[in-house]
Structures are given as C-alpha cells and as structure tokens.
C-alpha cells in the first residue's frame, strides 16, 4: 500500500497547493490513501464544511485537525456528520466528533487513522498514550487492518518521539504535526514503524510558521497585540511524507519526505 500524509495546511496558499497537486501526486505515486492535517486551513485557524468538501473532491481521503479544531464555530455542528474529519482522540468524553476512523481503499484494504494531541506546552488534555492504546486494542496491524496511521499533533519533539517508539511495531506510521517545520529524521524504526518528528506545513515559508512575518515580529517586539495573525499569501510548499507498506505485515517498507513548490528544496520519493 502507498500512503501520503500531508502536513498542516495553512490558509489559502496551503489550500491551493493541496487542491492543485494532490491529483497529480496520487497518479504519479499510485497512492492508495491520502491523509491531510487541515487544522489551519480556514484563515490559519480551523476548517469549515465547505473546505472539507473541496479537499475530498481533490482526492484527499481523510482530514485530521489539532488544537485549533474548534476555531471555526460551524465545525462543532458539522463534525459529527463527517466521518472523514478527525479531531484529537484524547479530548474528554462528550467532545463532538471522533478521534479515529476506519477507511477502505479502492482496493478494499482497511486502514485505521487516529490523532492524538500532545500535552507538553499544549492545552490540558487526556493522556495521548492511553488514548492510543485503547483504540489499538481493537485492531491488529496486518490482521484486521492493513495499515494504521497516527498523527501526533504536539509541540515537543521529545513527546512525538516517545509516542513513535511506544507504538513501534504496532502501527504503520507515526507522523508529527503542529510545529510546521519539516524535520530530517524520516526513518523506519527498529520495529518497522515509519516515523517523522514533523511533516512540515503546506503553506508559504516566507513567513513565521505560515503567518505573515511582519505581524509575528511585532508580537515578539511589543507586548500589545493589536493586530491578529494572518496567513502569508505567497506560493506554498507542499510538505508531506510518503510511506510504502509491507502487504503481509502492514509495517513500513520505506518512508521518504515529499516537498514541492514554494521556497523549500524539492524532494520526491525514489520509486522502484
């Protein structure tokens, strides 16, 4: 199975990169599943129902969110109607939506996707390790499901790496999101799980993590916050990670970064 996981989509620039490139990437790489973190898609904060449908129409199979899940108020009433839109799994009981979902590819393979929110330097949430454990107890990689993907939306690389090693050998991919900067540590861990500390963002890198740099600099220089953050509007770099699985075990055969467009150096997975 061939899977693409795209990092945080930031504003219009990031959305346009996804809508423009995902159809051709799916075709060129022969992708079976595309997952996109879209928690910054609507003006830099949250997502709307309309944007969800635009992503699906472009070939995205599953959307994940994060700490800005509820930034757009309309999503509270919408998320229960959209099984392809996932919020963090470790929000308290009674939170709208779900944090994991089972999806079937065009080839009939079942894939489990889940997201957990980190706790270091983030808002108070339930234990991400325990939340993942409860979900994985009902699914066996290479048995009931052909692949398991975990989005760890967290600030600290230490927490992301700990989750990766904790789940090593039991899931296909642990992909870090939230910090918007692509890391160079894409690897297959000892137990066969693909891992990367942060996929990066789909957005304009002539910015401060996707936001207009002038506004961000002012925030650091002055205590008064009179101007709200706004997404940068230049050409976006699409940052993603590609994973190919072993059909027998569901573990990763290989993992590689994919980058295209914008200011970052391009990267494309080497194909056999």
Residue 153 is among the residues annotated as catalytic for this protein: no
Q: Output 223 or 66, whichever has higher pLDDT.
A: 66
Structure confidence at residue 222 as a pLDDT band (50, 70, 90): confident
Burial 125-154, CB ≥16 within 10 A → b, else e: bbebbebbeebbeebebbeebbbbbbbbbb
Structure confidence at residue 223 as a pLDDT band (50, 70, 90): confident
99, two tokens: 């944090």
Q: pLDDT tens for residues 83-130?
A: 999 999 999 999 999 999 999 999 999 999 999 999 999 999 999 999
Residue 33 lies in a domain: yes
- Of 21, 68, 153, 180, which one is the catalytic site residue? 68
- The CATH number assigned to the domain holding 105 equals 3.60.21.10
* Spatial CA neighbour of 195 closest among 204, 184, 210, 206: 184
d(CA 202, CA 199): 9
* Spatial CA neighbour of 129 closest among 156, 162, 86: 162
Tell me if 217 sits within 8 A of 108, measured CB to CB: no
Q: Output 270 or 115, whichever has higher pLDDT.
A: 115
Start-to-end Cα distance in the chain: 14
Average pLDDT over residues 162-169: 98
Q: What secondary structure, in 3-state letters, does 127-186 show?
A: CHHHHHHHHHCCCCECCCECEEEEEEECCCHHHHHHHHHHHCCCCCEEEEECCCCCCCCC
Structure confidence at residue 228 as a pLDDT band (50, 70, 90): confident
Half-sphere exposure of 87 (CA within 13 A, CB side): 24
pLDDT, residue 203, reads 97
How many helical (H) and strand (E) elements, i.e. helices and strands, does the chain have? 6, 14
d(CA 254, CA 193): 9
> What is the distance of C-alpha 185 from the center of its chain?
16
Average pLDDT over residues 182-200: 98
- Considering the chain, what is the average pLDDT of its residues? 96
pLDDT, residue 185, reads 98
Q: pLDDT tens for residues 5-43?
A: 999 999 999 999 999 999 999 999 999 999 999 999 999
* Spatial CA neighbour of 37 closest among 3, 8, 15, 61: 8
Average pLDDT over residues 215-234: 87
pLDDT, residue 67, reads 96
pLDDT, residue 219, reads 87
Q: Which domain holds residue 42?
A: 2-260
Residue 91 lies in a domain: yes
244, two tokens: 């190919």
pLDDT, residue 131, reads 97
pLDDT, residue 99, reads 98
Could you give phi then psi for residue 127, rounded to 5 degrees? -65, 120
pLDDT, residue 14, reads 98
Count up the domains in the chain and report the number: 1
Average pLDDT over residues 194-216: 96
Q: Output 228 or 97, whichever has higher pLDDT.
A: 97
Average pLDDT over residues 222-231: 83
Average pLDDT over residues 60-73: 97
Give the whole-number percent of the chain exceeding pLDDT 70.
100
For 103-130, the DSSP string reads: EE-TTS-EEEEEEEE--TTS-----HHH
Residue 269 lies in a domain: no
Which DSSP category does 92 fall into? P
Q: Does 183 have pLDDT greater than 80?
A: yes
pLDDT, residue 224, reads 77
The model's pTM? 0.96
Tell me if 111 sits within 8 A of 140, measured CB to CB: no
């Amino acid at each position: 199975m061939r899977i693409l996981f795209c990092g945080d989509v930031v504003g219009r620039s990031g959305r346009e990169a996804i809508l423009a490139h995902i159809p051709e990437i799916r075709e060129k790489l022969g992708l079976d599943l595309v997952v996109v973190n879209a928690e910054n898609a609507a003006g830099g904060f949250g997502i709307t129902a309309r944007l969800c449908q635009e992503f699906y129409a472009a070939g995205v199979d599953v959307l994940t969110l994060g700490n800005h899940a509820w930034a757009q108020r309309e999503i509270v009433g919408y998320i229960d109607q959209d099984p392809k839109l996932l919020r963090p799994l470790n929000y308290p009981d009674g939170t709208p939506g779900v944090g994991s979902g089972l999806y079937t590819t065009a080839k009939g393979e079942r894939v489990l996707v889940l997201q957990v929110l980190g706790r270091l330097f983030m808002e108070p949430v339930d234990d991400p390790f325990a939340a993942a454990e409860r979900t994985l107890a009902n699914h066996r990689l290479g048995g009931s499901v052909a692949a398991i993907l975990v989005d760890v939306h967290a600030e600290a690389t230490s927490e992301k790496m700990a989750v990766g090693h904790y789940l090593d050998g039991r899931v296909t991919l642990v992909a870090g999101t939230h910090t918007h900067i692509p890391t160079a540590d894409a690897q297959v861990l000892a137990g066969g799980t693909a891992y990367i500390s942060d996929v990066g963002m789909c957005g304009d890198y002539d910015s401060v993590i996707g936001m207009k740099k002038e506004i961000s600099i002012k925030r650091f220089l002055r205590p008064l916050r009179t101007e709200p953050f706004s997404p940068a509007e230049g050409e976006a770099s699409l940052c993603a990670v590609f994973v190919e699985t072993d059909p027998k075990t569901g573990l990763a055969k290989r993992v590689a970064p994919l980058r295209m467009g914008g200011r970052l150096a391009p990267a494309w997975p080497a194909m056999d």
